[in-house]
A and B are shown apart, each in its own frame.
Chain A
Amino acid sequence: MTDIHNDDLAAFREQLVALLPRLRRVARGYTRNVADADDLVQLAIERALLRWQQWQRGTRLDCWMFGILRNAWFDELRARRRHAEVLLEDEQAGTQVAGGDGGQPLQALAVEAALLELPEEQRMAVLLVLVEGLSYKEAAAALDVPIGTLTSRLARGREALARVLA
């Protein structure tokens, strides 16, 4: 019994490791800041491990984790409001940010910039469905909204993107 438990836990941890790139990508959608996104991912992993037994095997771990990320982000926003913290941008000054390897990264940059410019609700709907490939149902659950809300955010986000990127 204990062995099974330990094997399960080890497998769970490795699944989290494998998910890190996608968790970071979604976290950046929330924070729009690399450093904050990594802190958010760390927090979400800690929380996920504490209640890892609540995750039901056979369901998608990515969707479960995206929900935890979202909750962690909203907690973080509340805490920031309490502490009146603002994002520090000073550490980023002078960092090389684009260019150097041709036109393709700039196209990607343009698309990413356009997405980041959307309001958060639309941004996250687009990110989870169009980038992460979640179904409407899964994305609505991860964002904790009804499906109708998700699809209307998705529609508005897409229209705005199409306008900007046309």
Chain B
Amino acid sequence: MRADHERLMAYVDGELDGGERAEFERQLAADPDLRALLAAEQTLRARLQTSFARQLSEPAPERLVQTARTARAGSAGLAILERWRGRSRSRVTGRRYWPLSVALAASLMLAAVFGLQLWRSPGASVALVSGQVVARGPVAQALSTALARTQPADAAVRIGLSFRDRQGRMCRTFMARAALSAGVACRAGQDWLVEAVASAPAAAGAVGAVRTAGSEWPAAIMREVDQRIAGNALDDQAERRARAHHWQP
């Protein structure tokens, strides 16, 4: 089975030679299960390539372009210098000099990193469903049931605003404390689709301390709300009505 799978992968990856390839294709023609596995592998490969292609359109930081164009090029005999330079650079201290550009350049990879925090945090979770990020567990629970006005101040998942977006869907902002993540989720059927995630500042002071509403929400999330909201955020009464209707449009 393992050998079969490796051969299937080798086929998808173009690693079989002519004879092996022909033989595998004969096998394929006779085996619908194998064809289904093949299709799944090809889909996975295509999804990976599409997803990671986005990173290629990010412009490279100027400092890297300058390094490539101007950094000292070696001639024979520079091996010692190279070792020395390798050592002197080894602590990766350069970052401090480019925090702003780095912050601006940080896009999907950070999303992935913060997304992962949300993933891994025991008290808050999201899941991938058909390639979409769907709230699960305590996050979904809070999105469906909590009311902004009456939720406990120290809730593991807090709700910020509830609003109707321009497509008419009900959306809510949430903050998962343990994951240091905040996000916007919108209702789709019985699911909450997580549409944006950002890191939330670590709680200042004691856990459970009452905070001023709004001040702790990442600006990125508030911008997401601004871009989506149609009309005003729901007040307490409207929020109760929406909950009674299970957040349907």
- Contact surface of A with B, Cβ cutoff 8 Å: 9, 12-14, 16-17, 20-22, 24-25, 28, 32-43, 45-47, 49-53, 72, 75-76, 79-80, 83, 85, 89, 91-100, 103, 105-117, 126-127, 129-131, 135-136, 151-152, 154-155, 158-159, 161-162, 164-165
Contact = CB atoms under 8 A, between A and B. Distances in A.
Contacts of B131: 107, 110-111, 165
A151 B5 CA distance: 11
A39 B85 contact: no
Given A42-B64, A97-B199, A116-B113, A76 B92 contact: yes
Contacts of A72: 86
Contact of B47 (A14, A42, A159, A165): A165
Contacts of B94: 39, 42
B163 to A, nearest CB: 15
B68 interface: yes
A95 B220 contact: yes
A50 to B, nearest CB: 4
B234 interface: no
Given A76-B90, A111-B131, A117 B108 contact: no
Nearest to B218: A94
28 contacts: A13-B73, A17-B68, A17-B69, A20-B60, A24-B55, A40-B92, A43-B86, A45-B71, A49-B71, A49-B74, A53-B74, A89-B199, A94-B218, A95-B106, A97-B111, A97-B115, A105-B111, A106-B194, A108-B108, A109-B112, A110-B51, A112-B109, A113-B112, A151-B10, A158-B41, A161-B48, A162-B44, A165-B44
Interface of B: 2, 5-6, 9-10, 13-15, 40-41, 44-45, 47-52, 54-58, 60-61, 63-65, 67-69, 71-76, 78-79, 81-82, 85-86, 89-92, 94-95, 98-99, 102-103, 105-116, 119, 128, 131-133, 184, 194-202, 218-220, 223-224, 227
Contacts of B65: 17, 20
**Chain A contact residues, majority secondary structure:** helix
B128 A97 contact: no
Report which residue of A16, A94, A100 has the largest number of chain B beta carbons within 10 angstroms of its beta carbon. Answer: A94
